[in-house]
Structure 1
């Protein structure tokens, strides 16, 4: 009787959370799905929005651009994050806390302020560009912030703090005692990382990579503030179709958002499959 009472009390305590999830996750998601199968302007259900997406080269280009940019940014970021997080584990606990706090603060620096900061530093009249022109640094003089490379640089920048914070606990799993035991048994540094270190951290790296990919795919404010509609990205297309200069196309925007959600779900499923496979092979 007491256990039943405790379960009911726990369920009652969860009610605010359940209401929030339904109101702000499942409710909008269901509305988005329903709108995506409606005809433009209403008047019945149809798959014309999805037909428009997959037959219009402009929208297909936005998918390719977003996926390519997100994959490239996530791959570069995960390498930098793994190296950085590993060396953070070598610092004293006090210094580790300080570095992680800085990473946490930097992780919250995104959106329009981040794009504005990049414009100040690397825009056409940015600080670094002006210094490069003064000292004749060719690689910076010819750098165009408002391009694919500019977007890639900004995406990598805001991915690194998040990746470092997520990978740090995984890299802490590489205990010094494991290294010493492996070296005492005759293993080289390469053999330690090949047979012990990498299998330990690989599931975490795969998991963080999928999170970084999803984070990059869903980025909107930073990209729009930097390049506007000059570079064809999924999130920019969704925002443009909802706001609309003349009239909005919420049905088409909903369909694109549904396809984007499916891509992210498939990425998470692939991540789960890879992590299970890696753990099984360890």
Structure 2
């Protein structure tokens, strides 16, 4: 009994730093942000910030742009990651470990360094653009990285490693014996994946999509470093309102941040419901 109490005390003490950090750096700022979103310039209570966020076409466009780029980059990244994860699962264990190690490193290559890397490669005087011009590939040399397509390409880049690392264990969970048994019963590779493989992977695929969507919705540094304030994204608008050059509007920024959080959480809840429904089916 004494040993159990001592173990319990050790666990509680070990959790204290985590709880304190969570309260100070996650819950407290979130609560203060939500409180500020209901304030007006004089500190009184108002819903005007939310009314402006949901009726002003400028901010509505920022919301729709962020949702659009998040969905597109998540779907593209998911498709590529499915192919890559399946391919990696067919290598030897040693090669798999090496690839996963590389993926762990590339998944951290985001933000300003990622944007700077793409500018060096595909900017107006980027390496590939100069090569395209040298070889007379004018259609490719006119590519504009500071555009909607450029943003999607950069977003897809940091989505792929994350998606692969999430999906890769799911492919390892598909036993080789299942495929062999299906082949013995007369099923070809297409039937195996449509009847067994994909249904088994579907909950993981849906869950991965929600994580990728949340990852893209919250991206700020990459987009800002690449296009600055020239493209209307929700995170960029929030940043502009917090550190406005003329008149900062932190209350309106708080309302937009709450909308961003609600959108992300709603998407994750929808995907969670879909995953449970798929598992029951």
TM score, norm. by length of structure 1: 0.96
2:30 paired with 1:33 = no
Deviation at 1:155, TM superposition (A): 0.4
Deviation at 1:9, TM superposition (A): 4.2
Instruction: Specify whether residues 19 and 61 from structure 1 end up closer, same or farther in structure 2 by C-alpha distance, changes over 3 A only.
Output: same
Instruction: Specify whether residues 107 and 188 from structure 1 end up closer, same or farther in structure 2 by C-alpha distance, changes over 3 A only.
Output: same
Deviation at 1:37, TM superposition (A): 0.2
Distance between the aligned counterparts of 2:192 and 2:65, measured in 1?
Answer: 39
Query: Paired residue for 2:131?
Result: 131
Residues 79-129 of structure 1, C-alpha deviation per residue, up to 9 Å, x if partnerless? 000000000011111111111111111111111111111011000111111
Query: Paired residue for 1:192?
Result: 192
Deviation at 1:8, TM superposition (A): 4.5
Query: Paired residue for 1:152?
Result: 152
Residues 184-226 of structure 1, C-alpha deviation per residue, up to 9 Å, x if partnerless? 1111111111111001111111111110110000000010000
Distance between the aligned counterparts of 2:63 and 2:18, measured in 1?
Answer: 34
Distance between the aligned counterparts of 1:120 and 1:195, measured in 2?
Answer: 45
Deviation at 1:142, TM superposition (A): 2.4
2:21 paired with 1:20 = yes
Query: Paired residue for 1:252?
Result: 252
Deviation at 1:10, TM superposition (A): 2.7
2:124 paired with 1:117 = no
CA contact (8 A) 1:88 1:96 kept: yes
Distance between the aligned counterparts of 2:6 and 2:225, measured in 1?
Answer: 53
Distance between the aligned counterparts of 1:147 and 1:28, measured in 2?
Answer: 33
TM score, norm. by length of structure 2: 0.96
Structure 1 consecutive aligned stretches of length 4 or more whose deviation exceeds 4 Å = 1-6
Structure 1 spans left out of the alignment, 5+ residues: none
**Paired residues, number:** 280
Counterpart of 1:248 in 2: which secondary structure?
coil
Query: Paired residue for 1:273?
Result: 273
Deviation at 1:139, TM superposition (A): 3.8
5 Å matches for 1:1-282?
Answer: 2=2, 3=4, 6-39=7-40, 41-281=41-281
